[in-house]
Amino acid sequence: MVKVTAKSVIFTVESDADELWIKGSWNDWQPEAMNRDKKTGLFRKTKRLKPGRYEFGYLTGEGGWLCDETLPTVPSPFGSQNSLLEVQP
């Protein structure tokens, strides 16, 4: 799930993975670790993103690629799908 606020974008993911990273076009696809919330068990990452269109996905510790279920997807150049996020001004 992705929640866009006036100052940030909050990414929240439910996953059985031991580790999870978010990778996106906002930083040339460099992995950023997501933290697991001890109360809910959900992975979470908050980012400040400028208005624009961003492709991204979640990389599991096992090497799997996950899309955000609440957003549209677009084909990636690697034969998988990426989530598409549009941040409005």
Retrieve residue 66's tokens: 């996950």
Tell me how many domains the chain contains: 1
Domain holding 29: CATH number? 2.60.40.10
Give the tens place of pLDDT for each residue, 8-47.
999 999 998 899 999 999 999 999 999 999 999 999 999 9
For the chain, give the mean pLDDT. 94
Instruction: Let me know if 87 is exposed, middle or buried by CB neighbors in 10 A (0-12, 13-18, 19+).
Output: middle
What pLDDT does residue 6 have?
Answer: 85
DSSP of 36-71, one letter per residue?
EPTTT--EEEEE---SEEEEEEEEETTS-EE--TTS
Q: Are 35 and 43 in contact (CB under 8 A)?
A: yes
Identify the domain containing residue 33 by its residue range.
Answer: 2-87
For residue 57, with 0-12 CB atoms within 10 Å meaning exposed, 13-18 middle and 19 or more buried, which class applies? buried
Which pLDDT score is estimated for 14?
94
Instruction: Provide the 10 A C-beta neighbour count for residue 58.
Output: 23
